Amino acid sequence: MKDNFSLQAKQYSQFRPSYPPEMIEYILSFVHNKGTALDVATGNGQVAVQLANDFDTVYATDISDKQLANAVQADNIIYKNEPAENTNFKNAQFDLITVAQAIHWFNFDVFYKEVYRILKPNGIFAALGYGLFYTNPHTDKIIKHFYHEIIGPYWDPERQYLDEDYKTIPFPFKEVEVKQFDNEFTWTLEQLTGYLETWSAVQHYINQNNKNPLDLIREDLRHSWDNSDSKVIFPLLLRVGSLKV
C-alpha cells in the first residue's frame, strides 16, 4: 500500500469530507453482531469513530503515524500502525471490516486473502469512498480543467478505480445490491482549496515542480466561488459483501 497522505495529514483531518451517518447506519444494517469491527487505512479515523457508536470495540489501522496522530479518539477505538495486507489480528476476529477511500491503493490479492482470514464467516466487508465532487457549472469547469489537464499527469494509476466508481475493483465476495448515497456540504473557499490540496496528485505536482498548482487557478476559483451558492456534492461509492463459502 502506498503512503500518499502523511505529508498532508493535518489538512486531511481538517478538510476531507466525512460520510453521512445514514450511510454508516445502512452498512451496519447488514451486520448481524456488533462486537468487533476493523477500519482499514483509517486515516483520521472518521469512519472508525462512527463505528465506535455501535460496536463494543473498533480497531483502526493505517501505515501513517502522522495520520494516526491526527485521528479522532474514543475509549473503544484501538489505533495500530499496520499495513492492510499483513495484520497481526486473529483468525475470524471481526464482525465488520471497512475500507474508506483507500482500497484502490491495496494489493488486492494479498489484501483479500487477509480479509478472508480475519473476517468472521457471517461477517460483512464494505468498501466505501467518494468520487469527484460537483458544484456550480462555472466552478465545475475550472475544477475539471485542473483535475484533468493541470494535475492529470500526476495522478497515480490507481486513481482510475475512483474515476470508475469502484465498479472495476476486484470484489471476491457474495455481493449485495446497495443504495446510492450523496453527501452535500456548504463550503467556504478555504474549505474548497484545503480539500483540493489534500489530493495526492497536487502533492506529487508540488514535489516535482516546487510550486503549488492551485496557484494557477486560485483567482478564477475565488471569483467563481464568490458568485456561487457554495454547495459541494460528493457522489458516494459503496460495495458490500460477505465471504463466499
Residue 184 covered by a domain:
yes
| Residue 115 pLDDT | 98
In a domain, 64, yes or no: yes
**Does residue 4 fall inside a structural domain?**
no
Q: Please, what is the average pLDDT of the chain?
A: 93
Checking if the pLDDT of 1 tops 70, the result is no
Cα separation, 186 vs 228, in Å, equals 11
Its domain, for residue 208, covers 9-242
Q: Is 126 helix (H, G, I), strand (E, B) or coil?
A: strand
Q: Which of 14, 29, 93 is nearest to 61 (CA)?
A: 93
Q: How much is the pTM? A: 0.91
Confidence grade of residue 66 (pLDDT, cut at 50, 70, 90): confident
> Considering the domain boundaries, does residue 126 fall inside one?
yes
pLDDT tens across 208-217, in order? 999 999 999 9
Let me know if residue 236 belongs to a domain: yes
- Span 55-75, average pLDDT: 94
The answer to whether residue 135 is domain-embedded is: yes
**Identity of the amino acid at 187:** W
Backbone angles phi, psi at 205, to 5 degrees: -60, -45
| Number of compact structural domains in the chain | 1
pLDDT band of 132, cuts 50, 70, 90? very high
Which residue's C-alpha cell is 478472508?
Answer: 116
Instruction: Label each residue of 16-80 as H, E or C.
Output: CCCCCHHHHHHHHCCCCCCCEEEEECCCCCHHHHHHCCCCCEEEEEECCHHHHHCCCCCCCEEEE
pLDDT band of residue 10 (cuts 50, 70, 90) is: low
- Average pLDDT of 175-188? 96
Pick the closest to residue 203 from 41, 4, 9 (CA basis): 4
Q: Is residue 2 part of a domain?
A: no
Angle value at C-alpha 203, between 9 and 210, nearest 5 degrees:
125
Q: Which amino acid is at 48?
A: A
The model's confidence at residue 182, banded by pLDDT at 50, 70 and 90, is very high
| CATH number of residue 156's parent domain | 3.40.50.150
In a domain, 3, yes or no: no
Select the more confidently predicted residue: 245 or 70.
70
- Please report which confidence band the pLDDT of residue 7 belongs to, taking 50, 70 and 90 as the band edges: very low
Q: Between the CA atoms of 127, 132, 135 and 139, what dihedral angle is there, to the nearest 10 degrees?
A: 160
Mean pLDDT (whole number) for 129-144: 97
Question: Does 238 have pLDDT greater than 90?
Answer: yes
Nearest to 11 by CA among 212, 239, 225: 212
